[in-house]
Amino acid sequence: MKRPTAVTTIESFILEQERQHPQATGELTNLLYDVALGTKLVAAAIRRAGLVDILGSAGDVNVQGEEQQKLDVFANECMKSALAAAGRVCVLASEEDELPTQISSGSEARYAVLIDPLDGSSNIDVNGSVGTIFSIYRRVSDGEPDIMDVLQPGNQQVAAGYVMYGSSVMLVYTTGAGVHGFTLDPTVGEFLLSHHYITMPETGKYLSVNESNFPRWTKGAQKAVRAFHGERPEVMAAKNSRYIGSLVADFHRNLIAGGVFLYPSDTRNPKGKLRLSYEANPMALIAEQAGGAATNGMTRILDIQPEELHQRTPLVIGSKKDVEFVVDMLRNEPE
């Protein structure tokens, strides 16, 4: 007799994972569910993005009399509303806001959350893939929430993940017990388990890097990329180039199919371009949990102590052996 295929929602999956830890209170489950809800609101808005000009351009007033906002501002508001509702978050930091937003000082507000609400937003105008990235820490402050709640190194994250708004909407997350992926079923509005225990191949097929920066890289970065082009087959097999310009989408491809993403420092961006706390750190935790690696070229991303909220970092992330290869090149020729 044919057995029915089990359907697992994100809620039941996280609950089951928490149940295996008797000390768990279920709060993290609820918080992750709030994140998922926020991203569903963002997904709904993105699906209508191409209609904005027809229904009223950004800055106009829509039929409900509300002012229409640019999508990244709107995504920020969606995420904040979803996370603020239940009082589980003490402070929320976002790429869109210069300063962190205090949400609650109550003792039940045990988490600090950092988000990039709409990563790769330049892709919106061309109907390309974008994403939302999130990073969750346990609160370290007593009394009033503090900047230190959001300036913790990535190795203190209790959960991290992203949602990719691509040909389908997918949520990928980790709580330190493997990486799991859920696909949004738009007909029922639920994220359903589609990728259980995702692992990255040790060496990948793909190279993702903005090669227009090549003349401004260090010799080490140039050498690494040339080797990925196939110039040194004795030490590195040639890779296929794929670059979308959206970290979430580029990382996601490499997570599933194997590969390496680089945004090294260059003479225009001497500290790198990507943000440590809400772009590099959450992706680094996912990469490591999937068997990959992430570094700034010298130090493991998760071990960097952030000094300011919007701090930038060079980033090399992906399949472990590919990342190690780049690190060797960068260390040998750092200039």
Binding site for Mg ion (CB under 5 A): 116, 119
Tokens standing for residue 46: 């993105």
Task: Closer to ligand AHM by CB, 28 or 130: give it.
Answer: 130
First to last CA, the chain: 66
Task: Closer to Mg ion by CB, 109 or 150: give it.
Answer: 150
Per-residue b or e along 214-232, where b marks 16 or more CB atoms closer than 10 Å to that residue's CB: eeebbebbbbbbebbeeee
The site partner of 245 among Mg ion, ligand AHM, none (C-beta below 5 to 8 Å per kind) is: ligand AHM
The site partner of 265 among ligand AHM, Mg ion, none (C-beta below 5 to 8 Å per kind) is: none
Distance of closest approach, residue 119 Cβ to Mg ion, in angstroms = 3
Distance of closest approach, residue 1 Cβ to ligand AHM, in angstroms = 48
Distance of closest approach, residue 34 Cβ to Mg ion, in angstroms = 21
Contacting positions for ligand AHM (CB under 6 A): 95, 116, 119-121, 210, 245-247, 273
Task: Closer to ligand AHM by CB, 110 or 252: give it.
Answer: 252
Q: Among 191, 260, 235, 244, which Cα is nearest to 14's? A: 191
The site partner of 128 among ligand AHM, Mg ion, none (C-beta below 5 to 8 Å per kind) is: none
Distance of closest approach, residue 241 Cβ to ligand AHM, in angstroms = 13
* DSSP 8-state symbol, 176: S
Tokens standing for residue 111: 């988490």
Residue 235: in which H helix or E strand, if any?
none
Q: In angstroms, what CA-CA distances link 122 with 30, 70, 142? A: 32, 12, 39
101-108 contact pairs (CB < 8 A, 24+): 102/144, 102/145, 103/145, 104/145, 105/143, 105/144, 105/145
CA dihedral sign, ordered 276, 279, 281, 287: negative
Task: Closer to Mg ion by CB, 96 or 116: give it.
Answer: 116
Q: Is the Cβ–Cβ distance between 255 and 292 less than 8 Å?
A: yes
Distance of closest approach, residue 121 Cβ to Mg ion, in angstroms = 8
The site partner of 121 among ligand AHM, Mg ion, none (C-beta below 5 to 8 Å per kind) is: ligand AHM
Residue with token string 């149940």: 19
CA dihedral sign, ordered 227, 230, 233, 237: positive
The site partner of 254 among ligand AHM, Mg ion, none (C-beta below 5 to 8 Å per kind) is: none
The site partner of 18 among Mg ion, ligand AHM, none (C-beta below 5 to 8 Å per kind) is: none
Task: Closer to ligand AHM by CB, 95 or 322: give it.
Answer: 95
Distance of closest approach, residue 35 Cβ to ligand AHM, in angstroms = 17
The site partner of 246 among ligand AHM, Mg ion, none (C-beta below 5 to 8 Å per kind) is: ligand AHM
Residue 332, classified by CB atoms within 10 Å of its CB into exposed (0-12), middle (13-18) or buried (19+), is exposed
Contacts of 20 (CB under 8 A, 6+ apart): none
Distance of closest approach, residue 302 Cβ to ligand AHM, in angstroms = 19
Distance of closest approach, residue 263 Cβ to ligand AHM, in angstroms = 6
Name the CA radius of gyration of the chain, rounded. Answer: 20
Distance of closest approach, residue 98 Cβ to Mg ion, in angstroms = 16
Task: Closer to ligand AHM by CB, 227 or 247: give it.
Answer: 247
Partners of 182 in beta bridges? 171, 193
Mode of pairing for the β-strands spanning 206-209 and 259-263? parallel
Task: Closer to Mg ion by CB, 29 or 123: give it.
Answer: 123
Task: Closer to Mg ion by CB, 133 or 136: give it.
Answer: 133
Task: Closer to ligand AHM by CB, 224 or 247: give it.
Answer: 247
Q: Among 258, 305, 121, which Cα is nearest to 296's? A: 305
